[in-house]
């Protein structure tokens, strides 16, 4: 099996595994490999996805929640990397308030090793919460407004007080969030934000 895989590119092997379909939504156009982190780049740590899925995974702020109804099928895929990506995307949908995603995740049984891998890509449940200026807990996908003018280092602009920042992400530091202002993804001190 090893030799057989090595004789092909990862992309060819993935296309063969998936039957030339996006392993998440089933689309057949614009397919390319995507590493499921932490990945060693092998077939077992990669999936093949269409441009729509890839774009929304790489930039969660563009996530079209209805597109991801496809996970209700693809979460049953036998391949661990597909299960892992489905798990993570369902988790992201839950953070956006999609209750159907919670129902799907509740049904999904993963092998313990696979579940451990899936959770590596998620915010740590034991981590300290991220608070806004009013001590409200912030979560990925929330919208916030800035409570003071912030000089954005390196980007050469000031994010004005009152600016709405949609679809924030959390960081490994509970005092920092990330969000897009003026088209730039910037790190913002969470205490300078108010949940919108």
Residue with Cβ nearer Zn ion (73 or 149): 73
* Residue 47 binding Zn ion, by CB under 5 A: no
Q: Shortest approach of Zn ion to residue 82 CB, angstroms?
A: 11
Determine, following the binding rule CB under 5 A, whether residue 155 of this chain makes contact with Zn ion.
no
Does position 22 bind Zn ion by CB under 5 A?
yes
Q: Is 105 in the site for Zn ion (CB under 5 A)?
A: no
Q: How far is the CB of 15 from Zn ion (least distance, A)?
A: 14
Query: How many residues contact Zn ion, by CB under 5 A?
Result: 6
Task: Check binding of 110 to Zn ion (CB under 5 A).
Answer: no
Tell which one of 5, 10, 15, 25 touches Zn ion (CB under 5 A). Answer: 25
Using the contact rule CB under 5 A, the part of the chain among 52-60, 117-125, 148-156, 168-176 near Zn ion is: 52-60
The strand pair at 176-181 and 164-165 is best described as: unpaired
What does the binding site for Zn ion look like in residue numbers (CB under 5 A)? 22, 24-25, 27, 50, 53
């Amino acid at each position: 099996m090893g030799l057989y895989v090595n004789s092909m590119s990862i992309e060819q092997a993935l296309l063969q595994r998936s039957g030339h379909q996006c392993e998440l939504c089933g689309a057949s156009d614009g397919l390319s490999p995507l590493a499921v982190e932490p990945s060693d780049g092998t077939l077992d740590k990669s999936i093949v996805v269409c441009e729509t899925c890839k774009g929304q995974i790489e930039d969660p702020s563009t996530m079209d929640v209805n597109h991801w109804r496809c996970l209700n099928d693809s979460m049953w895929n036998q391949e661990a990397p597909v299960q892992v990506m489905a798990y993570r995307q369902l988790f992201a949908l839950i953070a956006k308030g999609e209750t159907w995603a919670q129902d799907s995740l509740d049904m999904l049984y993963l092998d313990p090793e696979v579940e451990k891998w899936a959770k590596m890509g998620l915010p740590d449940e034991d981590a300290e919460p991220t608070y806004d200026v009013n001590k409200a807990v912030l979560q990925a996908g929330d919208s916030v407004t800035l409570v003071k003018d912030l000089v954005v280092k390196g980007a050469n602009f000031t994010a004005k007080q009152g600016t709405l920042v949609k679809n924030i992400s959390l960081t490994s530091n509970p005092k920092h969030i990330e969000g897009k202002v003026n088209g730039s993804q910037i790190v913002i001190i969470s205490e300078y934000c108010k949940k919108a």
